[in-house]
Every structure is written in structure tokens, then in C-alpha cells.
Amino acid sequence: MRFLLPLLALCASPTLADPPVIEAATATPSGAAWRFDVTLRHPDTGWDHYADAWEVLAPDGTSLGLRVLLHPHENEQPFTRSLNGVAIPAGLDHVMIRARCLVDGWADTALRVDLPR
């Protein structure tokens, strides 16, 4: 009987889905700002659990731009979305991009994107 409670606790624990994965990202200068095209993969299940954003970060972690994803993409995997008008501080040669899931939050990994100059 003493083993039953820990076993039930394991069964009742929420299962974390795979984090959103950034499969590709490009940065393109656009006037004084930049355009980012990011391809994500995530096992979206519908409105209750989907990849809901990605973010462009300076190497020090400062947020430079946020792309909110307004709906699930359960039938479109992977998918690519863009963000225009991102101001990049002078002197940066790369940025980091990380993705977020509605349920599990920000992924632990980020993708480095070199900025063509």
C-alpha cells in the first residue's frame, strides 16, 4: 500500500510536451531595422496547447522583438512566421531567438542567428 501513493502521484503528474523547436531562422536588413523569418516545430494540440510566441534577444538577454502567434498550427508543422521592424543595437554581430509554448513557457534553448553586415 505504501507504494500506491507514489505511483498514483506519478500518474497524476502533468505530462510536459516537447518544447517548441526553432528549425531555421534568417535575419534580413530592412532599411534601418531587420526582418526575421523563423520556422518552428511544436506538437500543437489545439487552443489549449500550442507554440504561442518567439522572441529576438540580444546576446545579453535583452528583448529586441516579440512575435506573438495568435492561433495553434496543429495541421501546419513546421511553420514559418516573420517579424519586421526589429531595431538591432549597433555593434551586434548576432542575436538569439527563443520560442515559447502556451503551457510550458519559454524553451530552454535558443538559436544563434548571425547578422549579415
- DSSP class per residue in 26-85: EEEEETTEEEEEEEEE----BTTB-EEEEEEE-TTS-EEEEEE--S--TTS-SEEEEEEE
99 φ, ψ (degrees, to nearest 5): -120, 155
Mean pLDDT for all residues in the chain: 86
Amino acid at residue number 33: A
Asked if the model's pLDDT at residue 117 lies above 90, the reply is no
Count CB atoms within 10 A of the CB of residue 10.
8
Task: Return the biggest CA–CA distance within the chain.
Answer: 68
Handedness of CA 52, 20, 67, 65 (dihedral sign): positive
CATH ID of 15-114, from 3.30.2310, 2.60.40, 2.40.50, 1.10.533? 2.60.40
> What does the pLDDT look like over 13-28, one tens digit per residue?
344 558 899 999 999 9
Mean pLDDT of 68-80: 88
pTM: 0.81
Asked if the model's pLDDT at residue 2 lies above 70, the reply is no
